[in-house]
Structure 1
Amino acid sequence: MDYSDDDSILDNESGEDNLYSEEGDPAEYAEEEDMDKDSASQLSYVVLKEEDIHEHQRTDIEQVSTLLSINQYEAIALLVHYQWSASKVEDEWFTDEDKVRKSVGILKEPVVDLNHREVTNIVCGICFESYPRKDIATVSCGHPYCMTCWTGYITAKITDGLGCLMAKCPEPSCSSVVGQDMINKLISNGEDKENQRKKIKWCPSPGCEYAIDFGRGCENYDVSCLCSFDFCWNCCEDAHRPVDCDTVAKWIFKNNDESENTTWILANTKPCPKCKRQIEKNLGCNHMTCSGPCYFEFCWICLRAFPCPEDCNKYRGADEAKSKREMAKAALDRYMHYYERWASNQSSRLTAKSDLEMLQSVQLKQLSDKQDTPETQLQFIVDAWLQIIECRRVLKWTFAYGYYLPQHEHAKKRFFEYLQGDAQVGLERLHHCAEVEIKQFLSETEDPSSDFSDFRMKLTCLTKVTKTYFENLVKALEMVLLM
C-alpha cells in the first residue's frame, strides 16, 4: 500500500487539501463554536445513576412476574440466571417451562413438605439441632435449616462474590435456588451493587456512583462517564481507540513487567532472520518456525536456515557476541522509543487536565473581566482544552499501536508514521495557542485587546480542524488493521 494514495481518508468536511494549512479565511469557523454538535455521531451508550438501574430492574421484574404468573422473587431468580434479559426469559420459559424450572432451581412442588408434619420441633439439616417451627426456614424444596445456619451459609456465599446471586439449597443433591426474599430476610445490611445486567457496568473510577448502559452492535467501546472519566466499556481500562483491547493488555503487561531488560531479551527472544518479528522460545527444540507471516524455519542457536551448517556449535569469535549484544540493544531501544513517547503524551494529558481546571476555576473570570466579555462567550477556550485532552489520549495510544505494527509491513508503517506525524504537528499547534498565546490577554491591564477576536477565530479554527483530523486518524488506523 502506498500511503500517498490514501490521503483521501483524512479529507475533512470542507475538502481542505492540507488540514493544518493556515491559508484561507478563518472567519468561516467563527460561527461554529459549538464544534459541529449537530453532525456529531450518536452515542452508543447511556450513563445511568443507581436509581435508574433499580428502576430498570423493577420494570423487568414486574414484566416477567406478570407474564409468567410467578412471584417476584422467582422472577428475580430467572432474570439473574438469564443475565437480566427479559426477552430471553420469556422465550425459554414458553419453549420448555419444566426445563427452565429445573435449570434455574424453581420447583413447582417441595421435596420435603413440612406442612403435613404434626411435630412442633424440626431438626436443622446442618447443625442437627432441634428448633421450633418458627425458627426454621426453607426455600421451594422444603429442606429445613435454622436461621443461624441459613445466615452463615448465605453470608459465606456473599463473601465468595457473585455466586450469592444463584446460591442453591445447602442440601448437596438439591438444585433449588435461594430466592432474593431469603437473602433480604437474613442479610439486612448488604449493599446490592452487582452488575445484574450483561450490558450494564459500573464506572471504574474510584468513588463514582454511575453505571453505563451500553448499546448492542457497536464496536466502539470508548465511553465517557458523567464523572468525566473516559474508559473502555469492554475491558474497563482507559479509553484507547484506535488500539484494541488485546493490544492494550499486552502493552500494559509489558510496561509493568520487570523483564524488559537486555538480559531477558537476549535470553528469551530473538528476531526471525527473515521478517525480523520478535520470537520467544517456549520449547526445548532449537528447530524454530516463525509463526507468521513468513513461516521461515531456522536454528535458534545460530539464526541460520534450518537445517543449519555443521559449524553451528563452533565459536566464531567476538563478532557473534557483538551481534547478540547489538540485537538485544536494538530491541530495547525500539521499545523505549515508543514507551517514552507514550508516557510523555500521558503526562501532557494529565497536565492539560490540570490546566483546564485552573482555567475554569480562575482564568475564565479574569479573562472575562479584562476583555469585557461574558464567560458564556468564552466556552470556545474550554472546548479547545477538552479537545487537547482527547487528542493527547489518542496520540498516546498511537505509540502502542506503532510498537505492535508488524515491522516487515513497510507500507503500513510509512502510512502510520505519516498520519501520526501530521497529528503531532497539529496538536502541538493547538496546544501552544491555548496554553501560550492566551497569556497575553490574561495580562492585559488596560482596555480590552482588539486582537482578542482574532485569537478567538484562530483557536476555534484550530480546535475544529484538529478534532476532524484526529477523528479521521482513528478511523484510518482502524482501517489499516483490517487490511
Structure 2
Amino acid sequence: MEDYGSSDEDIYSSDQESYDGLENEEADSQWGSSTGNSCKVITRESLLVAQREDLRRVMDLLSLREHHARTLLIHYRWDVERLFAILVEKGKTCLFAEAGVTILEEVDVDSSVSSSTMMCGICMEEVAGSEVTKMDCGHCFCNDCWTEHFIVKIKEGQSKRIRCMAHKCFAICDEAVIRKLVSKRHPDLAEKFDRFLLESYIEDNKMVKWCPSIPHCGNAIRVETDEFCEVECSCGLQFCFSCLSEAHSPCSCWMWELWIKKCRDESETVNWITVHTKPCPKCHKPVEKNGGCNLVSCICGQAFCWLCGGATGRDHTWSSIAGHSCGRYKEDQEKKSERAKRDLYRYMHYHNRYKAHTDSFTQESRLRETIKEKVAILESRDSRLRDFSWVTNGLYRLFRSRRALSFSYPFAFYMFGDDLFKDEMTNEEKEIKQHLFEDQQQQLEANVEKLSKVFEDPFDGFEETEIMDMRMQVLNLSVVTDTLCKKMYECIETDLLGALQFSSHNIAPYQSKGIERATELNGGRNTKANNNITCQKSHDQTNGCTL
C-alpha cells in the first residue's frame, strides 16, 4: 500500500491535497449528501421546541410575557436578529408600536373587571362585571362580543394577529384570553387557533419552510444562514429552499420557473405550427401544406395562396393563380417566420442537451447498487489495496457534476437569450460572455463523460495493476470535474449574474460534498447575537439611553 502511495505522489503531486480530501471523505455520507449544521429538520414534535427557542430569547431580553413576545416575532416574521436590530436602532417604544404590542405598566390590566355592572360599548347592554374582559390596551367589552369577534377572525384566517375591537386601536389581543373565551363555545376552533399560532413559526418565517414532499412527510426545514440554498430533508427529498422546487442550481429560481413552464405548456407546439402551417383566411384554422402547388385548400373549402396567405379562387395555371399576384416582398411577414424558426431551433438545442444529461444522470444513478456489489467483490480479495472509498466518492462526484451540467443548459438558454437580459448587455458583450461560459461548460462536459465511462468498465474483474490505474483515473477526473464545477459557478455568480444592473438573480452556491442533509433539531441556537444585543443594551443604559 505504501509503494502505491509513493508512486501516486510522484505522478500527481500537484493535486495531492485534493486527492487526500477526496479519499478522506466518509464513504457513507457520500452515498447520500453532506451533513452540516446550517440547516435543521423540524418535526411536528420538535416544532414547539424550535418556537420556544426564539420566544425565550425575546422574553428574557425584553422581560415580556409569552404572548407579547409571540406578537413581536410574528410581526417581524420570526426574524430575531432584525427584531434586535430595530430595538437598538429605534428603541423599545417604536418596536412595540409597530407590532401592536401594548403594555400599560401603571394601569391594572387584569382581564376580569371588579365593578358590579357596566355597559358594553359594542352591544350597548348592561352586563355583570364578571362577564366583562379587559385587554392589555385597557379596552373592555362583554365576553359575548369578544367571543363573537374572536370566532369571526379565526374563521377568516386571522388567528395570529387578532386586534382589539375598539375604534382605531391596533393592539393585539391576549392569546390566553382568546383561547379561554373561544374554548367555552367552540373547543374545535380553540384547537385551530392554537395550531395556527404554533405553525406561524413556519408559515411566517422566511428561514423555515415546509418540506415540499408528496405525500407530505410532515417535516419543516430551518436554515441558519442564507435562504438561497439547496437542502435535503430527512425524508430524502432534495429541493431548492427558496422556491421549493427540485434542486436546480446553477439556474436561478426565476429561470427555472420559466423553463419548467416552457417545457410543460404548448408554447413550442405553437412555435412549430407557426413555422410549418398557415392560417386559413376564412376559418383561421392552421393548414399544413402537403404538396408542391402553392394553391392550397382548407377543410372549410376556402382556397388561398400559400406564399402570402391571401384568399383566392381555385382557378390557376402552372405559373400563377387567376386574379392573384403576391410577388412583392413583405419584410414583416418574412421576419416573423424566420424569428419563429430561429427560436424553435434554439430551444431544441438547449432542451435536447438538458434532456440528454438528465437521462444520463438517471442511468448513472442506477449504478449505485452495481458499484456496491463490485466494491464488495474487490474488498473480498487478498490484495494490498483495501480502501475503496475512492470508488463511491468518485461516483457521487460524477452525480453532482452531471446534475450541475444538466441545469447549466436552461441557465444558458435564458442568460444568452433575448427575453430576460436584452437591456443588460450589448450583442458584443453577450457574445464574449457566452463564449467564456460555453468554453467552461464544454470542458466540464468532456471530463464528466470521461468519468462516466470509467465507471462503466467491469473493474471487479481487473487485476491489481489495472485497479491502481483506474484509481488514479477516478481521483484525477474527480478533482478536475470538481474544480471545473467551481469555476463555472464562479463565472455565473461573478461575471454573468453578478454583472447585472437592472435585475437580481441568486443561485444556490456550489457544494463539493453535495447538497447538505438537514440534521434533527436538538439544543439551542447560537446565542452570540443575543449576547451582542445585551451588551449593546448595557452600553446604552450606561450612557443614559433607555431602550
Match in the other structure for 2:342: 330
Match in the other structure for 1:25: 11
Rg larger for: 2
Query: Given residue 244 of structure 1, which amino acid in structure 2 is its aligned partner?
Result: S
Distance 1:36 1:29 in 2: 10
Distance 1:333 1:73 in 2: 60
User: How large is the Cα RMSD of the aligned pairs?
Assistant: 4.4
Shift of 1:74: 1.1
> Alignment partner for residue 142 of structure 1, among 140, 147, 151?
140
Other structure's SS at 1:106 match: coil
Match in the other structure for 1:387: 397
> Alignment partner for residue 261 of structure 1, among 266, 269, 293?
269
Q: Say if 1:203 and 1:212, in contact at 8 Å, map to a contact too.
A: no
Tell me, which stretches of 5 or more residues in structure 1 are unaligned? 1-23, 268-313
Match in the other structure for 1:152: 151
Q: Does 1:457 align with 2:472?
A: yes
Q: Say if 1:29 and 1:461, in contact at 8 Å, map to a contact too.
A: no
**Match runs of 1:38-117 below 5 Å:** 45-50=38-43, 54-90=48-84, 92=86, 95-107=90-102, 108=104, 115-117=113-115
Other structure's SS at 1:384 match: helix
Query: Given residue 232 of structure 1, which amino acid in structure 2 is its aligned partner?
Result: C
Other structure's SS at 2:19 match: coil
Query: Given residue 482 of structure 2, which amino acid in structure 1 is its aligned partner?
Result: K
Shift of 1:430: 0.8
Shift of 1:139: 4.4
Query: Given residue 214 of structure 1, which amino acid in structure 2 is its aligned partner?
Result: E
Superimposed CA distance per residue, residues 265-287 of structure 1 (whole angstroms, 9 cap, x where no aligned partner): 959xxxxxxxxxxxxxxxxxxxx
Q: Does 1:231 align with 2:218?
A: no
Distance 1:387 1:351 in 2: 15
Other structure's SS at 1:260 match: helix
Name the CA shift for 1:253/1:32 in 2 (closer, same or farther; >3 Å).
same
Superimposed CA distance per residue, residues 3-36 of structure 1 (whole angstroms, 9 cap, x where no aligned partner): xxxxxxxxxxxxxxxxxxxxx9358659935428
Distance 2:92 2:231 in 1: 39
Match in the other structure for 2:524: none
> Alignment partner for residue 191 of structure 2, among 188, 193, 214?
188
Match in the other structure for 1:431: 452
Name the CA shift for 1:448/1:264 in 2 (closer, same or farther; >3 Å).
closer
Other structure's SS at 2:209 match: strand
Match in the other structure for 2:164: 169
Query: Given residue 47 of structure 1, which amino acid in structure 2 is its aligned partner?
Result: K
Query: Given residue 142 of structure 1, which amino acid in structure 2 is its aligned partner?
Result: C
Q: Say if 2:229 and 2:242, in contact at 8 Å, map to a contact too.
A: yes
Superimposed CA distance per residue, residues 303-335 of structure 1 (whole angstroms, 9 cap, x where no aligned partner): xxxxxxxxxxx9725897565433312211111
Query: Given residue 353 of structure 1, which amino acid in structure 2 is its aligned partner?
Result: S
Distance 2:451 2:69 in 1: 55
Shift of 1:96: 4.9
Q: Say if 1:262 and 1:329, in contact at 8 Å, map to a contact too.
A: no
Distance 1:92 1:149 in 2: 35
Name the CA shift for 1:397/1:133 in 2 (closer, same or farther; >3 Å).
farther
Q: Say if 1:200 and 1:213, in contact at 8 Å, map to a contact too.
A: yes
Name the CA shift for 1:62/1:373 in 2 (closer, same or farther; >3 Å).
farther
Q: Does 1:242 align with 2:242?
A: no
> Alignment partner for residue 419 of structure 1, among 428, 440, 457?
440
Q: Say if 2:111 and 2:134, in contact at 8 Å, map to a contact too.
A: no
Shift of 1:225: 4.6
TM-score by length of 2: 0.60
Shift of 1:425: 0.9
Name the CA shift for 1:100/1:213 in 2 (closer, same or farther; >3 Å).
same
Other structure's SS at 1:115 match: coil
Match in the other structure for 2:421: none
Shift of 1:209: 2.1
> Alignment partner for residue 403 of structure 1, among 400, 413, 432?
413
Other structure's SS at 2:248 match: coil
> Alignment partner for residue 353 of structure 1, among 354, 365, 374?
365
Name the CA shift for 1:405/1:115 in 2 (closer, same or farther; >3 Å).
closer
Name the CA shift for 1:375/1:164 in 2 (closer, same or farther; >3 Å).
farther
Name the CA shift for 1:169/1:364 in 2 (closer, same or farther; >3 Å).
farther
Name the CA shift for 1:101/1:262 in 2 (closer, same or farther; >3 Å).
closer
Q: Say if 2:231 and 2:238, in contact at 8 Å, map to a contact too.
A: yes
Match in the other structure for 1:285: none
Q: Does 1:474 align with 2:500?
A: no
Name the CA shift for 1:111/1:72 in 2 (closer, same or farther; >3 Å).
closer
Name the CA shift for 1:93/1:319 in 2 (closer, same or farther; >3 Å).
closer
Q: Say if 1:124 and 1:145, in contact at 8 Å, map to a contact too.
A: no
Distance 1:469 1:372 in 2: 37
Match in the other structure for 1:10: none
Distance 2:415 2:19 in 1: 37
Distance 1:376 1:73 in 2: 60
Superimposed CA distance per residue, residues 221-251 of structure 1 (whole angstroms, 9 cap, x where no aligned partner): 3445555544333333333333333322332
Query: Given residue 176 of structure 2, which amino acid in structure 1 is its aligned partner?
Result: D
Distance 2:125 2:491 in 1: 71
Query: Given residue 25 of structure 1, which amino acid in structure 2 is its aligned partner?
Result: I
Q: Say if 1:139 and 1:179, in contact at 8 Å, map to a contact too.
A: yes
Name the CA shift for 1:83/1:326 in 2 (closer, same or farther; >3 Å).
closer
Distance 1:129 1:432 in 2: 85
Q: Say if 1:105 and 1:175, in contact at 8 Å, map to a contact too.
A: yes
Distance 2:77 2:384 in 1: 50
Tell me whether 129-138 or 25-34 shows the greater mean CA deviation: 129-138
Q: Say if 1:47 and 1:226, in contact at 8 Å, map to a contact too.
A: no
Distance 2:179 2:468 in 1: 63
Name the CA shift for 1:363/1:130 in 2 (closer, same or farther; >3 Å).
farther
Name the CA shift for 1:134/1:101 in 2 (closer, same or farther; >3 Å).
same
Distance 1:352 1:172 in 2: 66
Distance 2:449 2:128 in 1: 78
Q: Say if 2:77 and 2:206, in contact at 8 Å, map to a contact too.
A: yes
Q: Say if 1:46 and 1:214, in contact at 8 Å, map to a contact too.
A: yes
Distance 1:367 1:167 in 2: 67
Name the CA shift for 1:184/1:396 in 2 (closer, same or farther; >3 Å).
farther
TM-score by length of 1: 0.66
Distance 1:119 1:319 in 2: 87
Using the aligned pairs only, state the percent identity: 21
Other structure's SS at 1:231 match: strand
Distance 1:133 1:347 in 2: 73
> Alignment partner for residue 116 of structure 2, among 118, 140, 160?
118
Which fold has the larger relative contact order, with Cα–Cα distance below 8 Å and residues 6 or more apart in sequence? Answer: 2
Shift of 1:428: 0.8
Q: Say if 1:112 and 1:143, in contact at 8 Å, map to a contact too.
A: no
Query: Given residue 256 of structure 2, which amino acid in structure 1 is its aligned partner?
Result: V
